[in-house]
Amino acid sequence: MTARVDLDDLAVATIVVDPDGRVAAANATVAELVGSTAEHLVGRPLDELLRPEGATDDGVEGEDEGRAMCLRCGDGRELAVRALSRSRAGAGGACTTVVVLRPLAKGGAEPVGPSGIEVISTVSHELRSPLTSVKGYTSLLLSRWDRLSDDQKKTMLEQVHHDADRVTRLVSELLDISRLETGHLQLRFQTVALPSIASSVVAKLTFEYPELECTLAFAEGFPPVLADPDKVEQVLTNLVENAAKYASLKGMTVSGTVAGNSVSVAVADTGEGIPRTDLPHIFTKFYRRDQGRPSGSGLGLWISRGLVEAHGGRLDADSVEGRGSVFSFTLPLDTDAGGAAS
Ligand code: ADP
């Protein structure tokens, strides 16, 4: 006698995937983990729901012996799960796959974070490229000093200077992570002129991206804000650099608007945009859509949001696939400044 098993009778989270890689059925345990209903999950591509931990959206294919994966929940959280899958070829060789998920985090409720070794490897990689360049240029300067023209020396020293800035920025980001997590971030509030910070950020990044074309749109007499200028510069640098790296060097705009007691700064690009399914995740620590090139640590947006929130503001993203993205943040107006800003 063959017993028919209802998926909902299974205490383990189970998903049946059709040959197209879409969810054919999911049981109540999965729905509970994701914070949705089984009916809502049916028909969704599996790789929208599950991604290999620390990797891009490759999906789950073939036979798999308990891979560490991230299960995307409705509210943007990601749960660490171990996914065990078995594929069975049906008529015509098409494969149906059954995926069983076991939450790794206690209670299945903790967000996924990379292991210590992954963090070290990401950060080391990010540090290595500017340091390699510093080493290369200084070696060249030392060994060929008499044969290099003043212009060549100047260009190399500018590059070394710029690379040193990158290393400093990365180290200060790492320090900010622990300060943000422990609530020990200290802001040096001052009267700040956003148009001049924006123009200096664009000028510095033009050195790294000579083809960068970015329009600054701040009205004459744009009011000053009360903020820590170093942190505002860090946030803007990250947003403009991301737009240059992931979107397009042309057609970028940094604009400011005033609304009530705060100002809003928007960095708009004309790139490919960010898929709707990825958008809720880009502010997650160490999350990267594009593994490999262009390089990055997956920290920038998480830190930027933390820095803006520490000022009492908000940082959000909006994106239309094929059209581009807009990252905007708010900061409080400096109502006592009377127009003077540094
Ligand atoms: P990093 O740039 O170091 O990877 P971020 O936290 O700054 O980390 O960004 C997270 C991810 O968000 C990036 O890997 C990239 O895929 C995506 N992203 C950020 N900004 C943009 C943008 N303007 N256009 C498209 N994708 C973006």
Angle, helix 229-242 to helix 194-208, in steps of 10 degrees: 50
237 lines ligand 1 (CB under 6 A): no
CATH 3.30.450.20 residue window(s) in the chain: 2-103
Q: 283-325, pLDDT tens digit by residue?
A: 988 888 865 566 777 888 999 999 999 999 999 999 999 999 9
Q: 176-218, pLDDT tens digit by residue?
A: 887 887 778 888 899 999 999 999 999 989 988 999 999 999 9
CATH 3.30.565.10 residue window(s) in the chain: 190-332
CATH topology of domain 116-180: Helix Hairpins (1.10.287)
Sign of CA dihedral 140, 141, 146, 151: positive
Q: Which residues of the chain have pLDDT under 70?
A: 1-5, 9, 11, 53-66, 90-93, 105-119, 290-294, 337-342
CA distances from 109 to 33, 95, 126, 287 (A): 8, 31, 30, 18
Domain 2-103 has CATH 3.40.50.720: no
321 lines ligand 1 (CB under 6 A): no
Determine if the pTM surpasses 0.85: no
State yes or no: cis peptide before 280, omega within 30 of 0: no
246 lines ligand 1 (CB under 6 A): yes
- Confidence at residue 66, expressed as pLDDT on a 0 to 100 scale: 64
CATH 1.10.287.130 residue window(s) in the chain: 116-180
CATH topology of domain 190-332: Heat Shock Protein 90 (3.30.565)
- Confidence at residue 58, expressed as pLDDT on a 0 to 100 scale: 42
Which phi and psi angles does 145 have, rounded to 5°?
Answer: -45, -45
In ligand 1, which atom is closest to the CA atom of 247?
24
80 lines ligand 1 (CB under 6 A): no
**Closest CA relative to residue 244, chosen from 279, 210, 282, 283:** 210
Sign of CA dihedral 172, 174, 175, 180: positive
Count CB atoms within 10 A of the CB of residue 7. 17
Alpha carbon of 282 to ligand 1 centroid (Å):
7
- Confidence at residue 54, expressed as pLDDT on a 0 to 100 scale: 57
